[in-house]
């Protein structure tokens, strides 16, 4: 079985290559009931850090499920709807 550190590295590399530098992995947790690693996924920037999904890997480190660009966009839309200050900060950064 793959180690926790290896899971983190695989998940983080997968996120970096498929979603970019502002998305990163959190601390992996092994779910013994179903035999998979679950790794929280966070948007990470100097503006804010918040959860946007999770990556699921099997015990050998194969990615079984991960958020897509579309999933991340959906989370951002919901976050911005609920938090006007966050939306203003991101819009300000995007225009400068």
SS percent in the chain: helix, strand, coil, step 5: 45, 30, 25
Q: How many domains, in total, are found in the chain?
A: 1
Q: Give the Cα separation of 82 and 68 in Å (integer).
A: 22
The residue with tokens 């983190």 is: 8
Q: So what's the pLDDT on residue 73?
A: 85
| Residue 49 dihedral angles phi and psi, to the nearest 5° | -130, 125
> What predicted TM-score, i.e. pTM, was given to this entire model?
0.80
Q: What is the pLDDT of residue 92?
A: 56
Task: Report whether 32 contacts 14 (CB < 8 A).
Answer: no
**Per-residue model confidence as pLDDT tens digits over 70-85:** 998 888 788 777 776 6
User: Which residues are within 8 A (CB) of 78 and not within 5 positions of it... i.e. 6 or more apart?
Assistant: none
Strand partners, 8: none
Over residues 60-72, the pLDDT tens digits come to 999 999 999 999 8
Q: Give pLDDT < 50 ranges for the chain.
A: none
Given this model, what pLDDT does residue 71 score? 92
Range of the domain at 8: 4-95
């Amino acid at each position: 079985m793959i180690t926790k550190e290896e899971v983190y590295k695989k998940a983080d590399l997968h996120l970096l290559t498929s979603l970019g530098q502002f998305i990163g992995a959190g601390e992996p947790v092994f779910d013994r009931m179903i035999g998979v690693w679950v790794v929280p996924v966070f948007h990470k920037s100097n503006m804010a850090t918040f959860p946007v999904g999770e990556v699921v890997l099997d015990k050998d480190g194969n990615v079984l499920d991960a958020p897509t660009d579309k999933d991340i966009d959906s989370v951002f839309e919901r976050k911005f709807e609920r938090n006007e200050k966050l939306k203003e900060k991101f819009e300000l950064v995007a225009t400068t």
